[in-house]
Amino acid sequence: MSTRGLTGGSRSTVPGGTQADGLGPPGTPRVLAALEAVRDPELDEPITSLGFVASCTVSADGDVQVRLRLPTYFCAPNFAFLMVADAYDVLSATEGVRSTEVVLEDHFAAPAAIKGARSAAATASRAWPARGRRRSAAHRPGDRRAGG
């Protein structure tokens, strides 16, 4: 099933994705609801309300990929890092999520922000191994401005 994304992109939902019982994958609506906790550090507004979530995909196995697109290519890199890292944390803590990937698109500091978020995720995984969730990040492949 495909629906219009928050900023005009498309997103996929899994059948039964609106389940509230916590069994199985969370579905796109629950993932987007979880992302409402991630706020732009400067504007103090949810990234979902600001249209920074370009797309959200949830597989039937609970693998989540979220693509963030900030309003400008030169958005403050520290703010970009915070939003990517916060999105990781929120999604990884969502019931039914098996793995999390947050992609920062069209931002000059995407590789550094994602590398920092990966490092933070790895540190957290070593400190709290019981969580056992895989996390990954990527900048948009082939985006020369982002170093890809």
User: What's the pTM value of the predicted model, to 2 decimals?
Assistant: 0.68
Which band of pLDDT confidence, cut at 50, 70 and 90, is reported for residue 3?
A: very low
For 17-68, write each residue's pLDDT tens digit.
444 444 567 889 999 999 999 999 999 999 999 999 999 999 999 999 999 9
Calculate what percentage of the chain has a pLDDT beyond 90: 53
Rounded to the nearest angstrom, the gap between the alpha carbon of residue 80 and the centroid of all alpha carbons in its chain is 12
CA distances from 58 to 41, 43, 90, 93, 110 (A): 26, 28, 15, 15, 22
Q: Name the least confident of 2-6, 23-27, 129-133.
A: 2-6
User: All domains of the chain, ordered by start, with CATH?
Assistant: 2-13+24-146 (3.30.300.130)
**CA atoms within 13 A of residue 61's CA, in its CB half-sphere:** 7
Q: Name the least confident of 47-51, 84-88, 93-97, 108-112.
A: 108-112
Check: CB of residue 81 under 8 Å from CB of residue 117: yes
